[in-house]
Chains A and B, each alone.
Chain A
């Protein structure tokens, strides 16, 4: 376990250094534009699986959290020209509050009813923002980026790095949860909530905690999107696509391990970006659909589950 920990931190540091070097060495902006979207989905998928994977509460409201992140940033930028860091921290705060409210919902709702409630959450919030003129309302709002901060050469490069930091943060949190008593408690309540409660697992507290952490990370991932697009409109910010993609990424990667959503997000995110600029028609929607079906049939526990099975079989063979 200890050696694993060292490797993990070294890996995280190497990842951030590589990203920082990329922003210095690569002059072509496209990798940053496309890479940003992939990193953003990694944060969303990792955050989603804290609640959806460990606790088994399927949240369809990713787009609600993401959109709130976007609009928190828009609001702060418009009202006070707040810098990016403030936007992200504030968005995380808003996300935590929303997560808290969602956590209280789990008191009364489980399974499919919880999932439906999260969709309703998206619709309620989107409608409210649509009718809020100050942040652009239905017509959307165009934003002008402030000048870029040292040491970055361009704003997109900076956003790319910031999103990479969020990735590391999300993964660290997710890994900690999985390896600590929180993760074990969440797993217990996923398998049987009643039994967990009877054996002394503080289920409500754990569920609320998972919702708060998951919500804060999702909102934080959404905040830089305002400056990335320099435009925000409710139908794009609250697009159900975020919920569906995030869910698919977590499921394809596997929710049993913190690395699952990362693998899923990289795989699906990269495929989406590549398809957009290669096939680029209705066919790419079909390709994604077929991929999902294949994974659900062939690897119901995701890529991580598949790898585990292969490894276990090999071990058996050796013995």
Chain B
């Protein structure tokens, strides 16, 4: 009998605890403006998630130092989503129904964001996206704004393939990891190649966590492609570059890289060192003169100091300034609208161009950037074991987009490697 009583008690306690215990809303006199989000603090995306969060926190401190928004302090409520899609619906429901946040920021990356889109659409909430890829294309939420510079879905592959074509490339090899992001890139690359009348001579997906790439690269080399488009994740990016260094890639390759994740992070770049030379890869922000905007320098001064404490990427170019930019955009919208009305804020964000530390941002109807600002940059003169070289301009020369261009492509790849 006692066992049953205990069991009943446990169930009741759990149910009651969930319904009443968490219901108590914060009661402050002049309540702060609450911005809620989940962020990967553990799991595979944690490295990026933490850096992104630091960027947003620096903005919060800056805006509070300026007196807050609408005369109220800004407060962040952040929960760990463990890099997983299955955690975010409950977290965002907590943010909305229990914490009663005023503004929602999306978690870092596509997978944790995807399950949120129907929820925010149903609740009529504005959502500031954080580096996800095409999560709104099916849902069609008109209050979604992605801070990432991706732009139209195919612009990513298009910019790289155009660079290759200009260098005289006609045939393409595709090498992509069997994971969400890489497969999305490969998919658009196939479409773009068809449009540009380029022939795909090698198309290979490899399982995640592959470490040995020499056999794949030998097969790739045998296909004699002019352009090698790689969509890979951090561990495999390193593996692929090591294999290229060992067995070479052939003299006809004009351009190599494109969508390699990991080559944006300080630790990975320092580790790979001279193996990076010649690779043309996507990026979001680089310390080239064309990328300096109002506030950029001050932001990175603060970031560099706080990154040591927070134990995140010491460079922080990839995500952190865009987290800050999300804050700046919301700040401008709230100031212009003068309230926290979601519809009015969304209208303002959609119709205006916003000044941020990563440059001006304007949104298309689907909430992605109007124009792609995804950089394609070539590594030059990189030496081994040196983090500070990446803080200088000229180490990663921007080839695309034209507005921010800081140099021309060195081709073929074998020549650029030296």
Contact = CB atoms under 8 A, between A and B. Distances in A.
Contacts of A30: 18, 22, 90, 93-94, 96-98
Point out which of A15, A130, A228 has the most chain B C-beta atoms below 10 A from its C-beta.
A130
Contact of B15 (A35, A280, A311): A35
Interface stretch (B180-188, B386-394, B395-403): B180-188
B348 to A, nearest CB: 27
A38 B90 contact: no
Contact of A230 (B93, B115, B178): B115
A307 interface: yes
Contacts, number: 145
B91 A231 contact: no
B4 interface: yes
A281 B41 CA distance: 6
Report, as a range, how many residues of chain B touch the other chain.
35 or more
A140 B111 contact: yes
Interface residues of A, number: 57
Contacts of B82: 241, 276
A272 B314 CA distance: 31
A28 B23 contact: yes
Contacts of A18: 15
A235 B79 contact: no
Q: A interface, by DSSP: helix, strand, loop or mixed?
A: helix
Nearest to A225: B86
A142 B7 contact: no
A280 B11 contact: no
A37 interface: yes
B80 A281 contact: yes
Contacts of A241: 82, 84
Given A139-B183, A140-B111, A307 B118 contact: no
B113 to A, nearest CB: 9
A185 B265 CA distance: 57
Contact of B18 (A31, A233, A280, A281): A31
Interface string A302-318: 00100100010000000
B18 A140 contact: no
Given A239-B84, A282-B42, A139 B180 contact: yes
B66 interface: no
B2 interface: yes
A33 B19 CA distance: 11
Given A34-B18, A282-B42, A277 B183 contact: no
A138 interface: yes
A197 interface: no
A241 B87 CA distance: 12
Interface string A136-180: 011110101100000000001000000000000000000000000
B85 interface: yes
B65 interface: no
Given A28-B97, A241-B84, A276-B80, A138 B179 contact: yes
B94 A15 contact: no
A178 B198 CA distance: 65
Contact of A282 (B4, B41, B115): B41
B408 to A, nearest CB: 34
Contacts of B19: 22, 26, 28, 31
Nearest to B135: A142
Given A33-B89, A139-B183, A259 B178 contact: no
Point out which of A36, A138, A140 has the most chain B C-beta atoms below 10 A from its C-beta.
A138
Contacts of B183: 137-139
B114 interface: yes
A167 B180 CA distance: 33
Contacts of B42: 281-282, 284-285
A107 interface: no
Contacts of A22: 15, 19
Interface stretch (A71-79, A80-88, A188-196, A260-268): A260-268
Contacts of A307: 2-3, 6
Contacts of A304: 3
Interface string A20-51: 00100010111111111110000000000000
B211 interface: no
Contacts of B78: 280
A290 interface: no
Contacts of B207: 127, 130
Contacts of A11: 4, 8
Contacts of A270: 14, 17-18
A138 B180 contact: yes
B111 A233 contact: yes
A259 B2 CA distance: 12
Contacts of A276: 79-80, 82, 87, 90-91
A233 B89 contact: no
Interface in B183-215: 183-184, 187, 205, 207
21 contacts: A11-B8, A22-B15, A31-B19, A33-B93, A33-B94, A34-B93, A127-B178, A130-B207, A131-B178, A233-B180, A235-B180, A236-B111, A239-B86, A241-B82, A241-B84, A259-B3, A262-B7, A266-B11, A266-B14, A277-B22, A282-B42
Q: Closest 3 A-B residue pairs measured CB to CB?
A: A33-B90, A236-B85, A33-B93
Given A30-B93, A233-B114, 6 more contacts: A28-B98, A36-B90, A139-B183, A235-B111, A236-B85, A276-B82
Interface of A: 7, 11, 15, 18, 22, 26, 28-38, 127, 130-131, 137-140, 142, 144-145, 156, 225, 228-231, 233, 235-236, 239, 241, 257, 259, 262-263, 266-267, 270, 273-274, 276-277, 280-282, 284-285, 304, 307, 311
